[in-house]
Structure 1
Amino acid sequence: MSFASPWWLLGLVVVVGLVVGYLVLLRRRRRDVVRFTNLELLNSVAPKRPGWYRHVPAAAMIAALAVLTIALAGPQAEAKVPRNRATVVLVIDVSLSMQATDVAPNRLAAAQAAAKTFADQLTPGINLGLVSFAGTAAVLVSPTTDRDSVKRAVDGLRLSESTATGEAIFAAMQSIDSFSRSVAATDAEGPPPARIVLMSDGKQTVPGPDGENDPRGSFTAARKASEAKIPVSTISFGTEYGTIDIEGGRTRVAVDDASMKEIADLSAGQFFTAATEDELKQVYADLSEQIGYEVRRMDTSKPWLAGGALLLVAGLCIGLALGRRLP
C-alpha cells in the first residue's frame, strides 16, 4: 500500500501523544488514590467505577483518530480493472493441416470453439477483429465490439491450401492501422494499444518453407509488428502426431513450435502451445485476462473513512452508556 499524501501520516504522532497522555493520567489517578489514606472512607463516598471496559470509549476514540489520519493520507493499492481501450486481431490458420484429427474432433473445429469462447471472455471495451489465412490472408471482421459478428465469421471458416503466415500478420497489422486511424480522428487520447493473437499448427509454406525472412515472410512481418509496437502472441496448436489424407495417402502435419516461438520473440509477444481444445481454451483465457484487464493504483480511502467514522460513533455511544457523558 502507498499513499497519495503521506505527510498526513505525521498526524499519527498526535495520536501517539494522546495515548501517552491517557496513560499518564491513569497513573496520576492511581497515585492520588494511594495518597488518600482513609481507604474505608474513600470506598464509602466514591462511586463504584466500572472495570477495564471503562477504557473502551477512549480507546475507540483514539483508534478512530488514527484510522481517519490514514484515510487523509490517501491510501492506494493496486487493483485489476477492465480495459476500456484496446484492439485485438485474432488470426486463425485454415490450411489443410487443420483437418487433422489428433485434436478431437479435428483441429479446425476445436479452434473454432476456442475462438468463440475467447470472444465471449474479452471485456466489452476491447475491439476484436478476425483474420483467416491459408495460401492468402483475408480480413473477415474489422476490429469491433460486436462479438456476434466475430463468432459468425468464426463459424464460417473453411479450409484451403498452403500457409501464408507472414501475409496473415501483415493483413492483421493493416486492419489495426485502418482502425487506429479512424479512432484517432475522433478520440483525443489517440489510437488504443493493439495486439495480434496468431493461432497456427504448421510451418509457413508461402512464400516457401524457408522463406520466413522473405519481405512477405513471417519473421519479416514479426519485425515490422515490433517496430509498430504491436506484439504478436502466438499459439502453436496441435501435436507431433497429426496426419491428414492427401490423394489417398497419409501426410504427417506436425506442429512447428520453433517458428511460432520465433515470431513471438521477434515481435515482443508471448508464445503458447496447446495440444487439446481444453488447453487452447486455457491459453485464450490467459490471454483474455492479460488483454482485457490492467493493473492500476486505486484510491482505497473509503474503507478507512468508514472504519474511522464507525469507531468514533462507537466510542461516543459506549461513553454515554457507561458514564452518561462523552469520553
Structure 2
Amino acid sequence: MSLLAPEALSLLLLLAFLLLGLYRRRPKARLPHPLASLLQEAAKEARGPLPWLPTGLFFLGLLLLALAAARPLLPLPGRGSENVAVLAVDVSRSMMASDLKPSRLEAAKQAARAFLEEAPRGLRVGLVAFSGTAQTVHPPTTDRKRLLESLASLEFGRSTAIGEGILEALRQIREAGGKGDILLLTDGRNRTGADPLEAAGEAARMGVRVFAVGVGVPGWTPGPEDPVSAFGFFAGAYEVDEELLWSLAEFTGGRYFLVESEKELSALYRQLARTVRLEVRREEATGFLGLLGGVLALGGVALRRYLSPA
C-alpha cells in the first residue's frame, strides 16, 4: 500500500491524545461510601456485556478516517492487471509439418493452452495469428474459455510476416494500456511485410519484451505422407531464422528459444507463464475507507447512546 498524502497521518497524533484523555486514570474517592460495592456492581450491569465495544468502534472509525485522509492506493480485487501477454503464432502452411507431433501448429496450440493454465488469473492474454499478414484473433482478456475457442479456430495462410505479427501484437498492447510482453512463435523466415527489426525497435521504445520461440527439428525433412508435402517441397524443411529471432529477443530484453519437441514446447510456455510481468492495478481507496470509517464512528456513538440512554 502506498499513500498519496502521507502527511495526513499526523491526524493519528490527535487520535492518540484523545485516547490518553479518555482513559486517564480517575482519582479514587478519599472517603469510602458504605454502598460502594453495590454501586460498582450496578454500574457494571448497566454497561452491558461489552462495555468497550462502542468506544472501540468509534476509535476504529476515526482511525479509518485518518487513513482515508492520507489517500491510500490499494490493489483492489477484481481489477485485473495493467500488463498483458500477447501470443503471436505463425500459421503459415509450413506449420503443418509433423516433426512436432501431431503438427507444429497443433503443438503450438497445446503450448498456448499450457500457458493459459499456468498464467496468473488476473493476466490479460491476447492472441494474434500471422502468415503473409497478421490479424488479432482475440484481444487481451482474462476469459480463458474464449481464448481456448479462439485457439481452436486458427487457420493456415501463405507466407510469413514476422514483423507484421509483432506490430499487430504491439497494437493490442497499446490499446490495452501500453504494458506487456509478446510471445512470438514461428518456424520460418520473414518473407514479406514490415521489417521485424524495425518492429522490435518499436517494441523496445514501448518497453515491451519479445520472447522469440523457434520451432522445428534441424535436419528434418518431410516424407510423402507429411501434410506439408501437398503444398510443394520447400528449400529447407527447417527454416528457422535463429539469428533474427535472437536479435528480436536481445533488442527488446526478452529471450530466444529453439524448441524441437511438443513436450519441450509446452514446458517452455509453462515457464514463460511464470516469467511474464503481472502488475496489479492500484486504485485510490479514499472514498471506501472514508465511508467505512464514518459508519463505524457513528455506529459507536449510537451504540453508546443505546447502552447508556441517560
Is 1:4 matched up with 2:4?
Answer: yes
Is 1:264 matched up with 2:264?
Answer: no
Counterpart selection for 2:43 from 46, 49, 58: 49
Counterpart selection for 1:36 from 31, 36, 47: 31
What amino acid maps onto 1:40 in structure 2?
P
Structure with the largest fraction of strand: 1
Structure 1 residue runs of 4+, over 6 Å off?
83-87, 116-119, 254-258
User: What is the aligned length?
Assistant: 283
* 1:308 partner SS: helix
* 1:12 partner SS: helix
Q: Which segment drifts farther, 307-316 or 80-89? A: 80-89
1:1-327 → structure 2 map (5 Å cutoff): 1-24=1-24, 27-28=25-26, 31-33=27-29, 35-37=30-32, 39-43=33-37, 48-50=42-44, 53-78=50-75, 81-82=79-80, 90-92=88-90, 94=92, 96=94, 99-101=97-99, 103-112=100-109, 129-132=128-131, 138-141=132-135, 145=139, 151=150, 155-157=154-156, 168-172=161-165, 197-201=183-187, 204=189, 220-221=197-198, 224-225=201-202, 229=206, 231=208, 233-236=210-213, 238=215, 243-246=220-223, 253=238, 260-271=245-256, 275-276=262-263, 278-279=266-267, 282=270, 290=277, 294-325=279-310
TM value normalised by structure 1 = 0.60
The answer as to whether partners of 1:141 and 1:153 remain within 8 angstroms in 2 is: no
Alpha carbons of structure 1 residues 319 and 237: separation in structure 2 relative to 1, 3 Å = same
Shift of 1:14: 1.2
The answer as to whether partners of 2:212 and 2:249 remain within 8 angstroms in 1 is: no
The answer as to whether partners of 1:236 and 1:257 remain within 8 angstroms in 2 is: no
CA deviation profile, 1:280-313 (whole Å, cap 9, x unmatched):
66468568x75xx754331123553354244324
Q: RMSD in angstroms over aligned alpha carbons?
A: 5.2
CA deviation profile, 1:50-106 (whole Å, cap 9, x unmatched):
1784343223322321222112221112458457998958241636475134x4322
Shift of 1:12: 1.0
Alpha carbons of structure 1 residues 173 and 99: separation in structure 2 relative to 1, 3 Å = closer
The answer as to whether partners of 1:2 and 1:77 remain within 8 angstroms in 2 is: yes
Alpha carbons of structure 1 residues 127 and 113: separation in structure 2 relative to 1, 3 Å = closer
TM value normalised by structure 2 = 0.63
Distance in 1 between residues matched to 2:272 and 2:153, nearest whole Å: 15
Greater relative contact order structure (CA < 8 Å, 6+ sep)? 2
CA deviation profile, 1:182-218 (whole Å, cap 9, x unmatched):
xx9xxxx9x967865420246x4979xxxxxxxx986
What amino acid maps onto 2:281 in structure 1?
R
The answer for unaligned runs of 5 or more in structure 1 is 133-137, 208-215
What amino acid maps onto 2:107 in structure 1?
A
The answer as to whether partners of 1:89 and 1:128 remain within 8 angstroms in 2 is: yes
